[in-house]
Amino acid sequence: MSADPITVVGMDGAELTAAAMDALHEATLLIGADRQAWSLPNGASTVTRRPLREIDAMLDDLRNHDGPAVVLAAGDPGFFGIVRALRAGGLTPRVLPAPSSVQRLCAAIGRPWDDIAVVDATVDLRGAINVCRARPATAVLTGPGAGPAELGAALHGWERTLIVAEGLGGSGERLSTVDAERAAGMPWREPNLVLCLRDDDKVPPSSWYAGGEPAPPPGGWALRPGAFSHRDGQLAAPEVRAVVLAKLAPRPGTLIWDVGAGPGAIGVECARLGAAVLAVERDPGQCVRIMANAATYGVEVCVIEDSAPGAFGQLPDPDAIFVGGGGPGVVAACTSTGATRIVVALHALEDFADCRDALYGNGFTVDGCQLLVSRFADASGRTTRLAASSPVFLLCGTREA
């Protein structure tokens, strides 16, 4: 393997720096897209010019070459870029970056970018869509079959504005601001980049953490009962919610259904942990509570005012489902959605066997528990008493994706 230097040069259409030009003049191997590698000057007497190819082929070119080499890349090559592939292949390059495409798009619209989550839809389209559903600001790196139209179509039900940059940095650069529904029906020129915003006029708050506040949020999870607007007897105890959240495993990139959501405490808690959330609830008053509880914590829960399982056919496939009401028929319908985790809360044993059998019969591994929570209650003097709540039976079904 050659020990000669490898320099990765980021390009954004601007004039190259002196350091980049020096590296180009010294190089005897130049790797880049045709429009890059064949048009740039080179002062060496002999230079081999190669197009960007499959990663393995590029690594072989670099390993087998004697002499300094330059690899040309768009923007910041360490930002979802080629530097990772070189390091994984055992090569340590010198990197001369240019601004990333995300920075250039935000600069073009005069917006700060430190609150924006960045996802690569070409690697995980479904995960990228769920981050767009969950977060107020997401930049999406796109590709064929994973572009603005696909994002727009998947965001039905979520109010989002898409800012699409086509040909960013080139002579034909074009910026378009459209809602998700319109984006779904438009043709888009590649390459493009998408900025997905809940509110395109809002100035994001300053933060100490790039990409937005990390999960878990301040205050943790399984919030106290007084943290939610609810009807008496309609809110699971924090200890029950803690177990449910552990079984649902909400995280960025996942979609959780909260079925029979009641006041939406489970859905709101999942959203606070970074998941996209759909709440299915037939009671209009409870739907209002769900939206109010979500607004209290600055998260978004998409509310479907309808009965389960009738509403399921119009919803995007979930990763996990919490069933807070509906009985065995709803549980059976949930097993056909593609979810790999289903958690069912029951307050009586009458439906236990049928719900368990619905999970078993559709390929789920099932476990469960009874939770009886006794919490501290106010008492006079220095004594402390415990107040017991009604028991809750949890069924937890899991299956391979």
Summarised one tens digit per residue, pLDDT across range 349-373 is: 899 999 999 999 999 999 999 999 8
Q: CB under 8 Å to 298, separation ≥6 — which residues?
A: none
Do residues 90 and 117 share a domain?
A: no
Contact predicate 367/396, CB 8 Å:
yes
* Cis peptide preceding 191, ω within 30 of 0: yes
Do residues 149 and 27 share a domain?
A: no
Do residues 303 and 270 share a domain?
A: yes
- pTM comes to 0.90
Q: CB under 8 Å to 7, separation ≥6 — which residues?
A: 20, 23, 27, 68, 69, 70, 71, 93, 94, 95, 96
* Cis peptide preceding 263, ω within 30 of 0: no
Per-residue DSSP letter, 204 = P
Helices vs. strands in the chain: H and E counts, helices first: 13, 19
- 181 inside domain: yes
Q: How many domains does the chain have?
A: 3
Q: Can you give the CATH number for the domain in which 329 is found?
A: 3.40.50.150
pLDDT in tens, 100-146: 999 999 999 999 999 999 999 999 999 999 999 999 999 999 999 99
Do residues 28 and 86 share a domain?
A: yes
Q: Rounded to an integer, what distance in angstroms lies between the CA atom of residue 250 and that of residue 272?
A: 9
Q: Which of 99, 117, 140 is the last residue of a domain?
A: 99
Q: Rounded to an integer, what distance in angstroms lies between the CA atom of residue 21 and that of residue 43?
A: 9
Share of the chain above pLDDT 90, in %: 68
Do residues 23 and 79 share a domain?
A: yes
Q: Which of 38, 71, 99 is the last residue of a domain?
A: 99
Do residues 279 and 304 share a domain?
A: yes
Q: Can you give the CATH number for the domain in which 56 is found?
A: 3.40.1010.10
pLDDT in tens, 190-223: 889 999 999 999 888 888 888 888 777 777 889 9
Q: At what angle do helices 265-272 and 238-248 cross, to 10 degrees?
A: 60
Do residues 188 and 298 share a domain?
A: no
Do residues 280 and 391 share a domain?
A: yes
Q: Can you give the CATH number for the domain in which 130 is found?
A: 3.30.950.10
Do residues 73 and 135 share a domain?
A: no
- 205 inside domain: no
Contact predicate 49/37, CB 8 Å:
yes
- 218 inside domain: no
- 324 inside domain: yes
Q: Rounded to an integer, what distance in angstroms lies between the CA atom of residue 32 and that of residue 355?
A: 58
pLDDT at 45: 45
Do residues 146 and 230 share a domain?
A: no
- Mean pLDDT, the chain, as a whole number? 90
Q: Range of 31's domain?
A: 6-99
pLDDT at 231: 83
Per-residue DSSP letter, 12 = -
Do residues 44 and 154 share a domain?
A: no
Q: Which of 50, 76, 99 is the last residue of a domain?
A: 99
- CA distances (Å), 14 to each of 6, 17, 171, 240, 314, in order? 22, 9, 12, 57, 47
